[in-house]
Structure formats: structure tokens, C-alpha cells
Chains A and B, each alone.
Chain A
């Protein structure tokens, strides 16, 4: 499957056309989407027209940069002018966006071809993409399993070759979790870098927009396009020798499925062997992360949904409705306590990064769970799926640090595992450079 970088080289060498590659993605959608349910809307005619225009523009000498003519899918949580933004919910029936989200505006300017809008967990409030008004999205590596969520359709679309990249959102891990579950790269930039204007919110204080791609280089290209800086080329990797990594052990590595743990330790061994300096480090208040996150996300989500919960509760899927209702019972004093905890956790992650280039931990403690599973056995314990899926990612939404998920091998059943790197706030480019450096040492072919 072609990366954006390879597509760009071959497009400019006149070896491929945007029309040809877009047609290939559309054929893959036709073949695989009935099985994977990754797309809510396929924009076949419009995508072909955009691709043709991209080819004509290039032939006329108008090159918009690295995303010129690249077929990209969009999570159906971002407004696209003239189209419904369903958020995978019947609550949004009849909606039509009258303008583009800021991220979409930037991608249009960068010359991207929009191939369709992808399925997600309803209102992005879940980690499995199974509670959707359009039915569950499925994992390309095993359709009986979840593709992760909430950007599950986005990850499935990239992993299955239905798009060269996708745009997702991440409030507690919703880019990184599906990226890990489907074997793609997923980048949550630093908080506030990529505009969330025109994105249906889950929590305006935790929401991020970012790319899902096949490689770190491609993530870098799409990230810069999302910033409105569509002509940047990826930085050169730095030498691995001397890169300082800190492994988050206590709490973060306490509950890991055996094969996930083995792939993680094996990736660390390869990084050490390549010359990286790898320390262990603790986040002192790690055991408070889940309660801090829960009180913030539930309160923020309940405020946005309060009216719809009263006027059309039957239009929500029952699990998402119940989750939203929980937030309406949180006391203001507890929300304030959570905000205090957020500041403390931010300072602790800053301190952990003070002497390191990046923090490192797995992205998911388990491989993609079976659809319909409420809990999963990990070692001697049985844990709720939602708690496990969020356990290793939600901290960096609370603190705002940039984080990227990179494939790190497969389980014996063929399901992807992933490693997460975390960088300093407002230094996403520096994190991407570390990720480019580490990627060849930790990644193996996991795409279907």
C-alpha cells in the first residue's frame, strides 16, 4: 500500500495520477466497506472530480505541496460544507454543515482529495466504535473485533487501504487507540495546536484533532497541513544513539496482556540495542488519572448534551445516553477538584520530560477486543473494556502533551500492538523527530 510520501514522489514523476490512486481507494471501499463499515458517507463522484482537478493543476504547474491529490477520509465529527455531520448519532438527523471546520479548510488549501466520512463511536464518546447509529465499525485484521475508537472508521480506512490517511479526533485516546488497534500511526498533537473549530465537541478542554497514517513521515505531513502549513517536508531522523527515553512503569505497565507486554519489552530492547538511553520513571499521582479524567470529560460532555438529553433521549444509543447522564450528577466541587488534579498531573509529566526526549509506554494494554465485550481478562483480573482502552492514553489529554502511537508488532493471533511516545507541550515537531528515529526500530509490518 502506498504511503503519502511515495504517492507524492510517483505523482511528480508522472508514474501515477491522483485519479488512478483515488479510484483504487474507491474500489477498495466498494470491496471492503460492506465487511468493515468504516464509512458513513462515500463521496465517490466528488472525490473523482477533486482528483481530476488535482491532476490538471499539477500538469499546469500548480503544485499545492505534499498533500496535493492525496485521498483522505474524514471522521464524521468534522463539519464539511454542504454535508451532514452525523457524529454517528440520530440526534444529528437533518443536520447540514454550512461551512468547513478549520481543519478541513486547511486540507482543502493543501490540495487533499476527500474520499468520504468515517464511522465512529457515537459523539466520540466510546473506545470501540460499536455504539453508532450506522452500526459498528470493524477491525480489518479481524472483523469480529473492534477497530478501537472513537475514530474506529478512520483507522480501519487507513489500515485497509481505503484512504492514504484519515483525520480523527482524540479526547481520551480516540486517535491513538484505534491506530493501535488497527496497526496504523496515530498522532494527537499538543493541545490547542490544531483548531477544533467546526468539530462536534465531546469536551472542549480535552478535544484534539490529528492524523491517522501509515507512517510517522506521513503523520508529519498531514499534521503540518492541519496547521495550515501544507508545504513542510518531514524532518530528517536524528541518530538513535543518545536519544533519552523514559519508560512509564508503575501503574502504566501494571496491567498489560502478556503478548502486549512481550512486544513492548522487545521494542525497548531494540531501542536500547540501537543506542537509545532508556530509563524508568514514575508519575507520582498516576493512580488519580482516571478519576480526574472522568470528572472532567463527563461534566463537559453533559453540558453540551443537556438539551438533547431532555428533548430526544431516545435518539442516543442506550450506552452513550447513560454515559452522558452520569455527567449530570457530578457536583461542581468535584469538577474543581479534578481541575486541581489536572494541573498537578501536567506538572508531573513536564517534570518527567525535563531530562528526556520522550516518554514511552504501550498505547493499549490489550489487543483489539471482540465486539460486544464489556470486560476482558488480563492476567488474574477482569477489567471493563472502557477502563483498559483509556488507561494509557487519557493522561495526555488531561495534560495536553503531544503523543503518537506507532505499530510495534503483532500478537500470535495477528492483532497489532503499539508503542506510544509522548513529548513536551507545544513541541510536537520535536516528538515527531524522535518518533521518526524510533519507528524503524519498533515497527514491523502490521497492515492488512
Chain B
């Protein structure tokens, strides 16, 4: 079976899984796994995730 991709890298800088924190952790994990070439793809994914989270169809518990 496969090992979790994230491994120990899931511990992100800061207290909240912001997109910046997620991206830094994902890049670090990809490099740990010998996939530094994944960085541009992850940066593109981070931009798409930023757009997704900003969409006005998201429900929020505090609003």
C-alpha cells in the first residue's frame, strides 16, 4: 500500500491551514518525495483554491 503523501509535512507553519500555509507544506512535502518539479503545478492549484474559497456560493458558520 502507499504511504500518506503528506507525512510529517502536514504540520504547517502557523495555527491555521491558510492557502499560503498549505502551499508551503505541500511544496516541502513534494521536495521531500523527490518531486521538486511539482512546485509550479502546486502554485497553480493554490491559485485555483484561492478562487474556489473566495466564491460567493460558500456557506460560512459565522455568517
A interface, CB within 8 angstroms of B: 285, 287-288, 290-292, 294-295, 298, 306-307, 309-311, 318, 322-323, 325-326, 328-331, 334, 337-338, 340-341, 344
* Nearest residue, chain A, Cβ from B41: A326
Give min CB distance, B10 to chain A, whole Å: 10
The answer to whether A330 and B58 touch (CB under 8 A), given A310-B2, A325-B38, A338-B52, is no
Alpha-carbon separation in the docked complex, A33 to B22 (Å): 47
Give min CB distance, B6 to chain A, whole Å: 8
| Of B37, B41, B53, the contact of A334 (CB 8 Å cutoff) | B53
Give min CB distance, B62 to chain A, whole Å: 15
Alpha-carbon separation in the docked complex, A399 to B52 (Å): 17
The answer to whether A325 and B51 touch (CB under 8 A), given A310-B2, A331-B17, is no
Q: B58 touching A291 by the CB < 8 A rule?
A: no
Residues of A within 8 A of B29 (CB): 329
Give min CB distance, A338 to chain B, whole Å: 6
Residues of B within 8 A of A340 (CB): 57-59
Q: B22 touching A337 by the CB < 8 A rule?
A: no
Tally A-B pairs: CB < 8 A.
Answer: 72
Q: A294 touching B57 by the CB < 8 A rule?
A: no
Q: B41 touching A285 by the CB < 8 A rule?
A: no
Q: B48 touching A325 by the CB < 8 A rule?
A: no
Chain B 45-63 interface 0/1 with A at a Cβ cutoff of 8 Å (1 = within): 1001101110111110000
Residues of A within 8 A of B3 (CB): 310
Alpha-carbon separation in the docked complex, A344 to B49 (Å): 17
| Of B2, B30, B53, the contact of A306 (CB 8 Å cutoff) | B2
Chain B 1-29 interface 0/1 with A at a Cβ cutoff of 8 Å (1 = within): 11101100000000001000010001001
Q: A326 touching B45 by the CB < 8 A rule?
A: yes
Q: B55 touching A288 by the CB < 8 A rule?
A: yes
Q: B52 touching A288 by the CB < 8 A rule?
A: yes
Residues of B within 8 A of A287 (CB): 51
Q: B49 touching A334 by the CB < 8 A rule?
A: yes
Q: A288 touching B2 by the CB < 8 A rule?
A: no
| Of B1, B26, B52, B53, the contact of A329 (CB 8 Å cutoff) | B26
Give min CB distance, B14 to chain A, whole Å: 15
Q: A337 touching B52 by the CB < 8 A rule?
A: yes
Q: B17 touching A344 by the CB < 8 A rule?
A: no
Q: B57 touching A329 by the CB < 8 A rule?
A: no
Q: B52 touching A334 by the CB < 8 A rule?
A: yes
Q: A288 touching B51 by the CB < 8 A rule?
A: yes
| Of A295, A318, A326, the contact of B52 (CB 8 Å cutoff) | A295
The answer to whether A322 and B57 touch (CB under 8 A), given A294-B45, A294-B48, is no
The answer to whether A307 and B1 touch (CB under 8 A), given A295-B49, A326-B41, A329-B26, is yes
* Nearest residue, chain A, Cβ from B1: A307
Query: 21 pairs across A/B with beta carbons < 8 Å?
Result: A285-B57, A288-B51, A290-B51, A291-B51, A294-B45, A295-B48, A298-B45, A306-B2, A307-B1, A318-B37, A325-B30, A325-B38, A326-B41, A329-B26, A329-B30, A331-B22, A334-B52, A340-B57, A340-B58, A341-B57, A344-B57
Residues of B within 8 A of A337 (CB): 52-53, 55, 58
Alpha-carbon separation in the docked complex, A310 to B2 (Å): 6
Residues of A within 8 A of B57 (CB): 285, 288, 340-341, 344
